[in-house]
């Protein structure tokens, strides 16, 4: 009986005071928007990136490990003459005593904010900030990678891409870069930080290969096109799947010959040469 009464009182407490908690959260949100608005032009508006999915325009991370998280926020300044590219910016604020100060900013012209997120690319235990803006549908996007060094940000990489993904390595995270080939087909590389720059990493590529293979198997099941076979063969060569690559090349050549596409047949012949050289 006592337990039932205690449970009833607890439920009444939660129901009675839950609006207060909601109101507090709303106040915190309003205060946060007021803080970042001070550092935005009057014609700017906060914007969430397309990726990572569900990412908000305001993020938090303790770059210098002092126990106080910095504020990272992204916004858009639309061009006066539409449909000209907008300007996309990211600003980092650091708290000094009771006030917030801008310590860093970056900006890129483009048509969409594709990426804004934190990933440990260098493996030093502190996440890098990645900022990617779509320049155009055909051109793709530009990813900037910034590392926190000596209480400041340094750009350590510029990566052109159409799609990106991430591959967990032993110490750091690799970037899977998808570059458009034809239509919705892509040539994929997996890049890893080597201490100085991002370079192709065969081990991480092999780890990521199953995702690429599934992508093309699904595409081929919908449409048996030579360019899917070409990109799949390219991936198989990189992942040391030599027998599979040979079969994919033969299938692609067959499709290209049926359509009398001599240049494409030559592209597959070049792919065969790559395969033979890697087999040696």
- Residue 76, pLDDT score: 98
Counting the structural domains of the chain, the total is 1
Q: Render 14-69 in DSSP notation, one character per residue.
A: HHHHHHHHHHHHHHHHHHHHHHHHTTS-TTEEE---SBSTT--SEEEE-TT-SS-P
> Residue 120's domain spans which residues?
25-161
Is the entire prediction scored with pTM above 0.75?
Answer: yes
- Residue 17, pLDDT score: 39
Does residue 16 lie in a domain region?
A: no
The CA–CA distances, whole Å, from 138 to 2, 160, 183, 184, 187 equal 69, 12, 9, 11, 14
- Residue 25, pLDDT score: 65
Query: Which CATH number do you get for residue 152?
Result: 2.40.128
- Residue 7, pLDDT score: 40
- Residue 28, pLDDT score: 73
Q: In what order do the strands lie in the sheet with 140-149?
A: 112-119, 128-136, 140-149, 152-161
Does residue 130 lie in a domain region?
A: yes
Does residue 202 lie in a domain region?
A: no
Does residue 144 lie in a domain region?
A: yes
- Residue 140, pLDDT score: 97
- Residue 81, pLDDT score: 82
Does residue 231 lie in a domain region?
A: no
Does residue 59 lie in a domain region?
A: yes
* 190-220 burial: b if 16+ Cβ within 10 Å, else e: bbbbeeeebeebeebbebbbeebbebbeebe
Does residue 199 lie in a domain region?
A: no
- Residue 22, pLDDT score: 41
Q: What is the mean pLDDT of each run of 10 residues along the chain (280 residues)?
A: 41 40 58 94 96 96 96 95 91 94 97 98 97 96 96 96 96 96 97 97 97 98 98 98 98 97 97 94
Does residue 180 lie in a domain region?
A: no
- Residue 26, pLDDT score: 63
- Residue 27, pLDDT score: 67
pLDDT digits (tens, 9 = 90+) for 209-267: 999 999 999 999 999 999 999 999 999 999 999 999 999 999 999 999 999 999 999 99
């Amino acid at each position: 009986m006592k337990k039932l009464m205690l449970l009833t009182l607890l439920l009444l407490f939660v129901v009675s005071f839950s609006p207060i908690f909601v109101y507090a959260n709303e106040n915190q949100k309003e205060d946060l928007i007021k803080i970042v608005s001070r550092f935005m032009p009057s014609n700017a508006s906060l914007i969430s990136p397309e990726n990572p999915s569900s990412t908000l325009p305001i993020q938090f991370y303790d770059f210098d490990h002092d126990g106080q998280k910095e504020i990272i926020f992204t916004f858009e300044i639309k061009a006066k003459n539409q449909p000209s590219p907008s300007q996309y910016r990211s600003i980092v604020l650091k708290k000094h005593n009771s006030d917030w100060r801008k310590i860093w900013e970056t900006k890129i012209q483009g048509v969409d904010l594709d990426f804004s997120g934190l990933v440990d690319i260098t493996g030093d235990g502190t996440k890098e900030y990645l900022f990617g803006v779509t320049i155009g549908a055909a051109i793709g996007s530009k990813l900037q990678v910034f590392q926190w060094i000596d209480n400041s940000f340094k750009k350590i990489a510029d990566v052109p891409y159409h799609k990106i993904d991430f591959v967990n390595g032993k110490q750091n995270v690799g970037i899977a870069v998808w570059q458009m080939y034809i239509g919705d087909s892509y040539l994929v590389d997996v890049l890893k930080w080597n201490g100085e720059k991002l370079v192709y990493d065969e081990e991480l590529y092999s780890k990521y290969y199953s995702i690429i293979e599934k992508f093309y198997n699904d595409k081929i099941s919908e449409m048996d096109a030579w360019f899917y076979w070409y990109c799949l063969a390219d991936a198989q060569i990189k992942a040391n799947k030599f027998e599979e690559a040979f079969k994919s090349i033969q299938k692609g050549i067959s499709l290209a010959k049926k359509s009398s596409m001599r240049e494409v047949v030559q592209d597959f012949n070049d792919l065969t040469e790559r395969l033979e050289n890697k087999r040696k």
